[in-house]
């Protein structure tokens, strides 16, 4: 008995660890959602005071409208919601750390977290925002690397902040470039389309099976009546 219980405990231990990891990740993501709501409040205040450029306000509205059109016309949801339907790409702890570090706000997290949108639509959201973000970072790079210069008698504090801004801009450009060209386009987007069409095939196959079984039951009932 002790051997059986020990074996059972050994098998259930990885599942318990997985549950603990998912709970921890869910708690971190929940905390990030609260932070995002606070950021939305700050954005609304800054927008009302005119501190946010008009393009930064128009782009989320355009992206949201475009995503809704895609979800209705091009990639409608198959209507299948399973336990893992919201997870397009399942990865390791390092992948989830990468997701948490690179988390985004507003349209990206809202649409990406809703199962009523199909996988291609949910995958296109971070793709659109990452492209937009790279263009903003390029303007940042131009400003800190080309437009700004240090005076000849600059203090050590000014030099430190000067190079901190340069390095921060370069790191952001490197990160989001790797995110776009190394993950979203070659891996995440194809996986989303694969999942979408696989779910569509399963739905059509199930409907065909239901029709065949209904026809078979109807023919059997007709034969019984004839007898």
Residues 159 and 213 both lie in one domain: yes
Confidence grade of residue 12 (pLDDT, cut at 50, 70, 90): very low
Residues 107 and 18 both lie in one domain: no
Residues 40 and 110 both lie in one domain: no
pLDDT: which is higher, 49 or 122: 122
Task: Indicate whether 15 pLDDT > 80.
Answer: no
pLDDT: which is higher, 97 or 142: 142
How many structural domains compose the chain?
A: 2
Q: Average model confidence (pLDDT) for the chain?
A: 75
Residues 5 and 97 both lie in one domain: no
Task: Indicate whether 11 pLDDT > 50.
Answer: no
Residues 63 and 30 both lie in one domain: no
State mean pLDDT over 37-44: 68
Task: Indicate whether 6 pLDDT > 90.
Answer: no
- What dihedral angle (degrees, nearest 10) is formed by the CA atoms of 92, 97, 170, 105? 120
Residues 22 and 109 both lie in one domain: no
Residues 152 and 114 both lie in one domain: yes
Residues 182 and 140 both lie in one domain: yes
pLDDT in tens, 120-155: 988 898 899 899 999 999 999 999 999 999 988 989
The predicted structure's pLDDT at residue 214: 76
Residues 45 and 66 both lie in one domain: no
pLDDT in tens, 162-203: 999 999 999 999 999 999 999 999 998 999 999 888 888 877
Domain hosting residue 62, numbered range: 53-226
């Amino acid at each position: 008995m002790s051997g059986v219980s020990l074996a059972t405990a050994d098998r259930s231990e990885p599942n318990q660890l997985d549950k603990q990891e998912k709970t921890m990740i869910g708690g971190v993501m929940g905390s990030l959602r609260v932070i995002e709501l606070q950021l939305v409040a700050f954005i609304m205040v800054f927008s009302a005071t005119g501190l946010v450029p008009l393009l930064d306000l128009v782009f989320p509205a355009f992206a949201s409208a475009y995503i809704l059109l895609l979800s209705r016309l091009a990639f409608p949801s198959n209507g299948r919601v399973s336990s893992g339907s919201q997870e397009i790409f399942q990865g390791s702890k390092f992948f989830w750390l990468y997701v948490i570090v690179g988390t985004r706000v507003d349209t990206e997290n809202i649409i990406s977290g809703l199962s009523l949108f199909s996988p291609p639509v949910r995958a296109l959201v971070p793709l659109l925002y990452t492209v937009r973000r790279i263009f903003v970072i390029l303007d940042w790079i131009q400003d800190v690397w080309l437009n700004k210069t240090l005076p000849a008698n600059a203090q050590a504090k000014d030099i430190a902040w000067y190079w901190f801004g340069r390095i921060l801009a370069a790191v952001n450009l490197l990160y989001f470039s790797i995110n776009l060209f190394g993950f979203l386009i070659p891996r995440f987007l194809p996986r989303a389309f694969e999942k979408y069409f696989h779910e569509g095939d399963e739905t059509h196959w199930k409907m065909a099976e239901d029709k065949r079984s209904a026809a078979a039951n109807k023919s059997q009932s007709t034969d019984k009546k004839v007898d």
